[in-house]
Structure 1
Amino acid sequence: MIEIYLFINPLDESSLKVEEKFLRIIHKETEKVHFRLIPLVNPRVIQQYIKSHDLPLGDLDNRNKLCNSIYSACLDYKALQLQGKKLSRQFLFELQKKVGRHKENYSTQLVHQILTQINADLTLFKHDRESNLIVDFFKLDQQVANEMGIESFSDAVIFNYNCDRDFGVLVEADTPDAIIEELFKTHCDTSQFSTDDDRLHLY
């Protein structure tokens, strides 16, 4: 079995592109793959996001607005997960397309528009979204990200339990498909994974 933890920004097109890349690779894979999308927001990844997008580092109002929007979208996604993995991923992809790709503003109205579009249960969503349980689920995700040393949106950690590799491998967003596909192989030479490629880390 292969397990992938992909840490994403629910409002960004870059994360959407990495999700699509992994789904494309997984589609060709014959082994069983557990693909986990984990919404993420913390000061460290926000700082990296601002730098990578050439946004003003000293604009605190913009930083706070960005943090609040991503945090809210993370809770939206966690709430919808209670209605099923397929529906929540559909919601996530639509949200990333509208906000990240088409530059629409994130808002409660936009969220409800997408929920209606994908035929989600709005009443159930509103109930779950206001639950403290959703915040607890979100906090668990952030704990996992912290334990895995995640520093940027779209970082992923891959575990291959069919391989003699007894560690996870952290790969960055721009890691080539060929390296990811190599990590999926049953028979792999662990000596090939080194710090020579700064897009790939062991832990």
Structure 2
Amino acid sequence: MYLFINPIGSICYHAEQNILDLINGAKEDIRFRFIPLLNMNSVQDVMELNEKSQNNLAARNKLVTDIYHASLDFKAALFQGKKRGRRFLLNIQKQMEDSKNRYTDEIAIQAAMESGLDEEMFIHDRNSEFTAKSFMQDQKTAAEMNVEHHPTVVLFNVEGYDCGIAMDACKSYHVLQEIFAGEKPKDLVEKDCGCQSQMNSFLKSNRTPLKIQIDSNNY
């Protein structure tokens, strides 16, 4: 399972907490990754959520810079262990939610200390070329999976599906509950993808997941 997130977003913060709770209670072992996402569509989504004009270049540049640096810091934290990395991610998101301030070095260092990271190693890694390349690889993964918005959850090996499926993480809680409990999801509705036979053939040979929406009558 992959969850594509905004590393400083409050919506993603709550989605991550919900998914971690589901994983902890799942019957089967679930391999999962939280992946920072930064592209034109994801930035536009955040601008609209914060009621910022799309023509406000200063606000857009600030947002892109904050997400980029927070993403690198999250990647650097992950180098010291997945659990510590996830704690770091939740920590910076909680600080951003509480303070409503710009992402800063002070927030990053405080989160690193509270997450049990080696501060010297973290500072080195957050500025390293390897960390930047790792972030770019994440963006390549998102592009391969055709993920453009966050939070998006992508799952593979789901009963009844021969390919991966992608869902809005905020709207899919009950569906994820069913999947993680080992049940076949009942209320997934495939979006119109054109010729379904050709699409299924394409999906089986590529990493692009099938787009899924949740039945709004039930949720």
Please, what TM-score do these two structures have when normalized by structure 1?
A: 0.87
Q: Counterpart amino acid of 1:177?
A: Y
Task: Answer yes or no: is 1:166 the counterpart of 2:162.
Answer: yes
Q: Counterpart amino acid of 2:169?
A: A
Per the alignment, residue 114 of structure 2 pairs with 117
Per the alignment, residue 21 of structure 2 pairs with 24
Q: Counterpart amino acid of 1:26?
A: I
Mapping of residues 27-66 of structure 1, within 5 Å:
27-66=24-63
| 8 Å CA contact retained: 1:7, 1:156 | yes
| 8 Å CA contact retained: 1:115, 1:121 | yes
- Once the two structures are superposed, residues 40-97 of structure 1 have per-residue CA deviations (whole angstroms, 9 ceiling, x without a partner) of 1111211122123322111001100100010000000101111111111111101000
Structure 2 residue ranges without an equivalent (≥5): 193-210, 215-219
Q: Which moved more, 1:4-13 or 1:124-133?
A: 124-133
| 8 Å CA contact retained: 2:37, 2:150 | yes
* Cα RMSD, aligned residues only: 2.3
Identity of aligned residues (%): 32
Per the alignment, residue 147 of structure 1 pairs with 144
- Once the two structures are superposed, residues 7-60 of structure 1 have per-residue CA deviations (whole angstroms, 9 ceiling, x without a partner) of 011111100111011112222211110121001111121112212332211100
Q: Which moved more, 1:70-79 or 1:121-130?
A: 121-130
Per the alignment, residue 179 of structure 1 pairs with 175
Tell me the distance in 2 between the aligned counterparts of 1:7 and 1:119.
Answer: 24
Query: 3-state DSSP class of the match of 2:116?
Result: coil
| 8 Å CA contact retained: 1:48, 1:151 | no
Query: Structure 1 pair 143/193, CA: closer, same or farther in 2 (3 Å)?
Result: same
Q: Counterpart amino acid of 2:46?
A: Y
Query: 3-state DSSP class of the match of 2:55?
Result: coil
Query: 3-state DSSP class of the match of 1:37?
Result: strand
Task: Answer yes or no: is 1:199 the counterpart of 2:199.
Answer: no
Per the alignment, residue 81 of structure 1 pairs with 78
Please, what TM-score do these two structures have when normalized by structure 2?
A: 0.81
Tell me the distance in 2 between the aligned counterparts of 1:192 and 1:56.
Answer: 34
Count residues in correspondence: 196
Tell me the distance in 2 between the aligned counterparts of 1:149 and 1:116.
Answer: 35
Tell me the distance in 1 between the aligned counterparts of 2:187 and 2:100.
Answer: 43
Tell me the distance in 2 between the aligned counterparts of 1:107 and 1:100.
Answer: 13
